[in-house]
Structure 1
Amino acid sequence: MSRILELREKRAKAWEAAKKFLDSKRGEDGLLSAEDTAAYEKMEKEVVDLGKEIERLERQAAIDAELNKPTSEPITNKPNNHPDGEEKTGRATDNYRRTFWNAMRRKNFFDVENALQVGTDSEGGYLVPDEFEHTLVEALEEENCFRGLATVIQTSSGDRKIPVVASKGEASWIDEEGAYPESDDSFGQVSIGAFKVATMIKVSDELLNDNVFNLEAYISKEFGRRIGTKEEEAFFIGDGKGKPTGILNATGGASDGVTTATANITFDDVMDLFYSLKAPYRKKAVWLLNDTTVKALRKLKDNNGNYIWQPSVQAGVPDMILNRPYHTSSYVPEVAAGSKVMAFGDFSYYWIADRQGRSFKRLNELFAATGQVGFLASQRVDGKLILAEAVKTMKVKSSASSGS
């Protein structure tokens, strides 16, 4: 932890030095020479690299803390015909977990049917045991920053209908003995379904038969990476056709809080976006933007001459833009004419609906000629912004209107 604090302080000092350099080298036209620009970008790169090293050390510390947790647990199993008993922490028992992965490793291993507690799906795949499903969800959260900000719910079947207050009633001043005016709230409804995202992995027979090969870790990590990446893309820019509706989609997404006056982002644009969001939502609001946009914002100052981007010097506290945390994603568009390049709001009003149970299947014969075994994974998920006013976006002025 002392090393992390040391790097945070070093980064803060490097950033202050970069800001002073930028201020001192600007010419009367507000621009830098080519030589000074190269020097500044080198200083800025040092700040970025220090930030990445801090993130690596924080992840390392989190993993160390997880591994240092006690491994022994109180006895929870019931006495039965198994000599060592059989512990059941969810849907899956220890016996089921073992036989499930044995079935995944070896063809014609059918003992899993005797240990199955939930059942098989209609196409012959096994319902994933609790322990593997949790591993997969953790991988999604690590790969996908959006899940940590949104509200995640579980659905079992059919569409999930979410009631939403469309407009609220109000009180009125009335005379003595006057009639009370009617002013009812009006309600709407948002329906969340389930779209299917799927992928396949091919593993050689040699790897499956190698006892050193960690099949569970490999498949969990790879499925998490693939599905998590595809999910995040849809949560940002999905059009709702066969996939979730993204936060930046023109229909069903967040509304524009501000449109820039030029092709570049200014401090006034960022401030306008900040205050386009109603005050109650700003309490939990965060920024979502691309890394290249963050780079552009680092050079912006407020009206008092202070840089609006501030590095964190305290462990557990993220970097800030106008005193609110930000997250970056490659799926948020870069600054370009007509693009939505920033979103600011309370993203807990974006709901992600996971259909219960993830399908996991083994294909024995399809790739037998090449000495490989296929593994299929699929997930059913949908996502929608439930309350449009909770998130606002910044749109760059289109090139067509810039000429007018």
Structure 2
Amino acid sequence: MTTLKIRELKNKRSSLGHEATAIMQAAQDGNRAMTPDEETKFDALMDERDQVDRTIERMERLLEQDRQGIDDIPDDGRPGNRGGAEAARMDAWNAYLRDGRPGLTADHVRALNAGNDPEGGFLVAPEEFVNRLLANVDDQLPLRGLATVMRLTTAESLGVPTRDADLADATWTSEVGTGSQDDGLRFGKRELRPHPLAKRVKVSRTLLRRASMDPEQIVRERMAYRHATAQENAFMTGDGNQKPLGLFTVGNADLGGITTSRDRQVPTDGTRFVNDATNGYAADALIDAKYALKPQYHARARWLFHRLVLAEVRKIKDANDQYIWKAGLGDAPDTILEIPHVLSEFAPSTLADNDYIGMLGDFSFYWIVDALQFEIQRLVELYAEANQIGFIGRMESDAMPVLEEPFIRLQSNDTVA
């Protein structure tokens, strides 16, 4: 049934792509720009296609997990479908989420190893809960699917070797020669240290007691959403001080990250990209950005934009009055200069002078380190008047670009001002 649904969604995606392409082609054939109505319809079609893409990705991931037996826990998370010690831990965890410390029996306490928590404060979540929470966070953050993500279970930090200076080219020599000695290779080290990240969510007491899904699922989904938005914000613009170092944060020799040497200017008028001989060609600037990135990074490279900036990118034409945006057909993704894109709500969204407006990069060189320990505190009295229970969740994470070479950052240059 899942395979059939995926096939139907792919057919729908293909149909939406063909319809959007037809609108764009009609404008190109008429040697004109799209009309406002055509732009509105085109954007609506592409937004719907993006939603279908995300649904297909989620369903294919679940299908692959089923095939490999990676996750044998059903979506409803019912304890009856688990077994052994893990069942006991998750039953105890659900009892704590639903009823707090008074709901825990002696067996529950042993299962949760909660002996160090006599006042019913923080409890360390079972590993199964944490893994599914992190999986939910991954689903909500496209960057985490492209980045290199690691889990720390014992060490406090992860050292990242970085090449500060490289060797010169090898030299041609004789059969028995070894070439000249080169002492130019130098390595530095950046450290990724997971920092605490906390969020409070409120859940209806009635919902916890009466919902068909387990409290575990309710709390996990809300926690995942709130932790995901906080992380994505930091992944974009975090200053690296007790939080991740963001992609759009200017790096330096001490901080690491991406320095201004990787910035490229794109002509704008403060609100839109410009494309004329007087003020410059935005299309040319994006082409220059693509080829400023070494070809070994192109295969995994992605453009990164906010949706409002992407809407303007879709309207850019080259010097021959042709759109640089190409809608994908069938299973092919949409591309900008043959490179797919990803969207983030926390990427820069304005085109004012000197604003960062997007990025091109191989995001596998953005490293994310999570600490597996996740704690939840249950708040009963604070929201009693609203018939709600509060949950404070704490996890630890850190991230940063470990090499700046695989990234090109785009900056607005208001040529009209």
For the superposition of Structure 1 and Structure 2, which TM-score range results when normalised by the shorter chain?
0.7 to 0.9
Alpha-carbon deviation of 1:136? 0.8
Shift in CA distance, 187/59, structure 1 to aligned 2, threshold 3 Å:
closer
Shift in CA distance, 206/270, structure 1 to aligned 2, threshold 3 Å:
same
TM-score (norm: length of structure 1): 0.82
Which of the two has higher C-alpha Rg? 1
Contact 1:141–1:147, Cα closer than 8 Å, also in 2: yes
Letter paired with 2:20? A
1:88-167 matches, within 5 Å, as: 93-107=86-100, 108-111=102-105, 112-116=108-112, 124-155=121-152, 156-167=154-165
Shift in CA distance, 192/398, structure 1 to aligned 2, threshold 3 Å:
farther
Letter paired with 2:124? L
Contact 2:326–2:336, Cα closer than 8 Å, also in 1: yes
In 1: Cα distance, 2:148 partner to 2:398 partner: 12
Letter paired with 1:150? A
Partner SS state of residue 229, structure 1: helix
Alpha-carbon deviation of 1:224? 0.8
Partner SS state of residue 360, structure 1: strand
The aligned counterpart of 2:22 is 16
Partner SS state of residue 8, structure 1: helix
2:235 matches 1:229: no
Alpha-carbon deviation of 1:104? 1.7
Structure 1: gaps (5+ residues) = 27-31, 75-83
Q: CA RMSD of the aligned region, Å?
A: 3.4
Shift in CA distance, 204/40, structure 1 to aligned 2, threshold 3 Å:
closer
Partner SS state of residue 359, structure 2: strand
2:325 matches 1:329: no
In 1: Cα distance, 2:399 partner to 2:118 partner: 26
TM-score (norm: length of structure 2): 0.79
Contact 1:363–1:373, Cα closer than 8 Å, also in 2: yes
Shift in CA distance, 208/323, structure 1 to aligned 2, threshold 3 Å:
same
2:297 matches 1:300: no
Partner SS state of residue 35, structure 2: helix
In 2: Cα distance, 1:237 partner to 1:354 partner: 18
The aligned counterpart of 1:80 is none
Structure 2: gaps (5+ residues) = 1-6, 73-79, 275-281
2:314 matches 1:320: no
Shift in CA distance, 46/101, structure 1 to aligned 2, threshold 3 Å:
closer
In 2: Cα distance, 1:179 partner to 1:313 partner: 52
Contact 1:5–1:313, Cα closer than 8 Å, also in 2: no
1:243-392 matches, within 5 Å, as: 243-251=243-251, 252-255=256-259, 256-263=262-269, 264=273, 266-302=282-318, 306-315=322-331, 317-334=332-349, 335-368=351-384, 371-392=387-408
Shift in CA distance, 50/381, structure 1 to aligned 2, threshold 3 Å:
closer
Contact 2:303–2:360, Cα closer than 8 Å, also in 1: yes
In 2: Cα distance, 1:53 partner to 1:246 partner: 26
The aligned counterpart of 2:195 is 195
Partner SS state of residue 297, structure 2: helix
In 1: Cα distance, 2:155 partner to 2:376 partner: 19
Contact 1:257–1:276, Cα closer than 8 Å, also in 2: no
Alpha-carbon deviation of 1:293? 2.3
Shift in CA distance, 214/323, structure 1 to aligned 2, threshold 3 Å:
same
Shift in CA distance, 385/10, structure 1 to aligned 2, threshold 3 Å:
closer
Alpha-carbon deviation of 1:397? 1.3
Which stretch of structure 1 is more off in the superposition, 298-307 or 201-210?
298-307
Contact 1:11–1:50, Cα closer than 8 Å, also in 2: no
Alpha-carbon deviation of 1:233? 0.8
Partner SS state of residue 243, structure 1: coil
Contact 2:13–2:330, Cα closer than 8 Å, also in 1: no
Alpha-carbon deviation of 1:25? 5.8
Shift in CA distance, 396/67, structure 1 to aligned 2, threshold 3 Å:
closer
Partner SS state of residue 356, structure 1: strand
Shift in CA distance, 307/120, structure 1 to aligned 2, threshold 3 Å:
farther
Letter paired with 1:218? I
The aligned counterpart of 2:3 is none
Shift in CA distance, 325/109, structure 1 to aligned 2, threshold 3 Å:
same
Alpha-carbon deviation of 1:95? 0.9
Shift in CA distance, 206/275, structure 1 to aligned 2, threshold 3 Å:
same
CA deviation profile, 1:207-258 (whole Å, cap 9, x unmatched): 3332546422221111111110110011011111232110010124434341
Partner SS state of residue 93, structure 1: helix
Partner SS state of residue 248, structure 1: coil
In 2: Cα distance, 1:296 partner to 1:228 partner: 26
CA deviation profile, 1:187-219 (whole Å, cap 9, x unmatched): 000111122221112334333332546422221
Alpha-carbon deviation of 1:52? 4.0
In 1: Cα distance, 2:157 partner to 2:26 partner: 56
Partner SS state of residue 331, structure 1: coil
Which stretch of structure 1 is more off in the superposition, 327-336 or 298-307?
298-307
Letter paired with 1:106? D
Contact 1:174–1:180, Cα closer than 8 Å, also in 2: no
Contact 2:267–2:414, Cα closer than 8 Å, also in 1: no
2:41 matches 1:39: no
Which stretch of structure 1 is more off in the superposition, 390-399 or 368-377?
368-377
Contact 2:20–2:46, Cα closer than 8 Å, also in 1: no
In 1: Cα distance, 2:112 partner to 2:11 partner: 49
